[in-house]
């Protein structure tokens, strides 16, 4: 079954309009005005494809096509629709659009599935507004209590429920899904790396996903006058932070095994050019395909931070996210591979260095994740790009797989 490339292109163009930084990449923070516009569009498309639409207590969007089998578990297809700051148009939306197009193909072909088909668009996978990340899928998996959600605030101190209500969402609704209500979850995502493009392969069938954690490091010092405070009487939080940050790449390289450390977010207080900084807060993203190496690096980072506690410098380290490495379901992988073979679509098995909602949902259901090529391997930047026909090739594989899993009657 051929995917409709005009529809796919229409969705990509539509969603790419909902950004807070037009002409400077996609910035679509959760529960922002841009989220609301994208949400309205996604729900309209779901309704147009005959789906019954709802939003849960975190604002995850679901579109359901009932199956012939009463109260049967659903095959869920989708991804996230938030973005990193100044990101691209495909990270997340490619998978949501895959779900929309599969729903449209079910409708075009009057497919009557035995098991329900649900299309999902999840919130806050990137963690760009509330930190951590994978929030929509962690809510569905039951990892977030109502208190956790209430206490989760953005940098302006706005809580998740407050931000939800501002765009008309209801935080009192249930989020956690009973695993019995899900038969499988399928996600299509851009590779965000160079392999598929370099090897001219259409689809990556993901076998494993990297383990990852995010730390938030706070360095407290003492504010002072830049001109009148002698150098030997300073507790400069930024000098301490800069020394710590400069050592992080070496910790990752010494650990090896593909371990990586990244400082992506960094705030200086009070941030005045003639004021000695009294506080610095920065993020440390740590990953490896083997959990032991993630834990080693975390410990080394904590020891390094603590070693700077002297001369009026205080430190604190908080862990905002921790995900073990994941092996994805072999049965689903073989169905994906069979769908590629059936369509004559080239594929390879791959490991994912990026985290995905699939890694969370694999804790509660059988999960399949496929990649489609990223131009020049770029992602998390405005240059992120995938050709429409490459998206279509991945969607056709997912469509055949969704047909098999919903067992059309």
Known binding-site residue numbers for Zn(2+) = 80, 91, 126, 189, 380
In angstroms, rounded to a whole number, what is the distance separating the alpha carbons of residues 129 and 266? Answer: 14
Q: Which is nearer to ligand HGY, 185 or 308 (CB)?
A: 185
| Binding residues among 113-142 for ligand HGY as defined by CB under 6 A | 125-126, 133
State the alpha helices, DSSP H only, in 17-111: 33-48, 93-108
- Partner from ligand HGY, Mn ion, none contacting 355, C-beta within 5 to 8 A by type: ligand HGY
What backbone torsions phi and psi does residue 270 show, to the nearest 5 degrees? -80, 5
Distance CA 25, CA 17 (A): 10
Q: Work out the number of other CB atoms within 10 angstroms of the CB of residue 96.
A: 26
CB nearer ligand HGY, residue 204 or residue 355: 355
Strands 279-288, 203-209: pairing kind: unpaired
Distance CA 29, CA 36 (A): 10
- Residue 112: CB minimum distance to ligand HGY, A: 36
Binding partner of 197, given ligand HGY, Mn ion, none, CB within 5-8 angstroms per partner class: none
Partner whose footprint covers residue 133, from ligand HGY, Mn ion, none (CB < 5 to 8 Å by kind): ligand HGY
DSSP-derived 3-state class of residue 153: strand
| Per CB under 6 A, 325 contacts ligand HGY | no
Tokens of 303: 């020891």
Which residue's CB is nearer to ligand HGY, number 21 or number 262?
Answer: 262
Residue 255's contacts (CB-CB under 8 Å, 6 or more residues apart) are 288, 293, 296, 297, 300
d(CA 261, CA 80): 24
Position with the least CB separation from Mn ion: 91
CB of 321 to Mn ion, least distance (A): 13
Q: 327 near 206, Cβ under 8 Å?
A: no
- Asked if 400 is part of the footprint of ligand HGY (rule: CB under 6 A), the reply reads no
For ligand HGY, the nearest residue by Cβ is 354
92 contact, one of ligand HGY, Mn ion, none, CB 5-8 Å limit per kind: Mn ion
Q: Where are the alpha helices (DSSP H) in 109-208?
A: 135-140, 146-151, 160-166, 195-199
Interstrand relation of 117-122 and 74-80 (parallel, antiparallel or unpaired): parallel
Binding of residue 285 to Mn ion (CB under 5 A)? no
**CB-nearer residue toward ligand HGY: 126 or 278:** 126
Binding of ligand HGY by 193 (CB under 6 A): no
Residues 84-103 that bind Mn ion (CB under 5 A): 91-92
State in angstroms the smallest separation of the CB of 71 from Mn ion: 32
CB of 235 to ligand HGY, least distance (A): 33
Nearest-angstrom CA–CA distance, 371 and 99: 14
**Any contact of residue 359 with ligand HGY (CB under 6 A)?**
no
Exactly one of 203, 304, 354, 372 binds ligand HGY (CB under 6 A); which one?
354
Distance from chain centroid for Cα 303: 29
Footprint of Mn ion (CB under 5 A): 91-92
Footprint of ligand HGY (CB under 6 A): 125-126, 133, 354-355
């Amino acid at each position: 079954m051929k995917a409709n490339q005009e529809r796919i292109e229409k969705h990509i163009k539509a969603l790419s309009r909902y950004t807070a930084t037009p002409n400077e990449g996609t910035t679509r923070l959760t529960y922002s005005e841009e989220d609301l516009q994208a949400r309205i569009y996604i729900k309209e498309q779901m309704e147009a494809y005959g789906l019954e639409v709802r939003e849960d207590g975190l604002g995850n969007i679901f579109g359901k096509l009932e199956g012939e089998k009463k109260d049967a578990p659903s095959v869920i297809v989708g991804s996230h629709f938030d973005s990193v700051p100044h990101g691209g148009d495909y990270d997340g939306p490619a998978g949501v659009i895959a779900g929309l197009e599969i729903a449209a193909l079910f409708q075009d072909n009057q497919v009557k599935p035995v098991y329900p088909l649900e299309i999902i668009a999840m919130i806050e996978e990137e963690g760009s507004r509330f930190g951590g990340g994978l929030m929509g899928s962690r809510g569905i998996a039951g990892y977030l209590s109502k208190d956790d959600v209430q206490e989760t605030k953005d940098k302006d101190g706005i809580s998740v429920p407050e931000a939800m209500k501002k765009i008309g969402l209801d935080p009192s609704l249930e989020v956690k899904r009973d695993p019995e209500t899900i038969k499988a979850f399928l996600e299509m995502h851009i590779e965000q790396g160079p392999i598929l493009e370099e090897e001219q392969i259409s689809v990556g069938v993901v076998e494993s996903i990297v383990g990852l954690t995010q730390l938030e490091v706070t360095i407290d010092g003492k504010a002072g006058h830049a001109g009148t405070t002698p150098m030997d009487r300073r507790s400069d939080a930024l000098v301490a932070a800069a020394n710590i940050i400069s050592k992080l790449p070496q910790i990752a390289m010494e650990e090896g095994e593909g371990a990586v450390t990244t400082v992506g977010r960094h705030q200086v207080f009070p941030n005045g050019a003639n004021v000695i900084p009294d506080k610095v807060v920065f993020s440390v993203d740590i990953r490896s395909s083997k959990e032991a190496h993630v834990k080693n690096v975390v410990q080394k980072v904590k020891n390094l931070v603590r070693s700077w506690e002297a001369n009026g410098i205080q430190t604190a380290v908080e862990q905002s996210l921790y995900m073990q490495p994941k092996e994805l379901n072999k049965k689903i992988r073989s169905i994906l591979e069979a769908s590629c073979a059936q369509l004559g679509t080239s594929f390879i098995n791959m490991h994912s260095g990026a985290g995905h909602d699939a890694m969370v949902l694999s804790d509660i259901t059988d999960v399949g994740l496929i990649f489609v090529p990223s131009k020049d391997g770029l992602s998390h930047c405005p240059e992120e790009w995938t050709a429409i026909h490459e998206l279509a090739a991945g969607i056709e594989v997912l469509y055949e797989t969704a047909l098999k899993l919903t067992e059309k009657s």
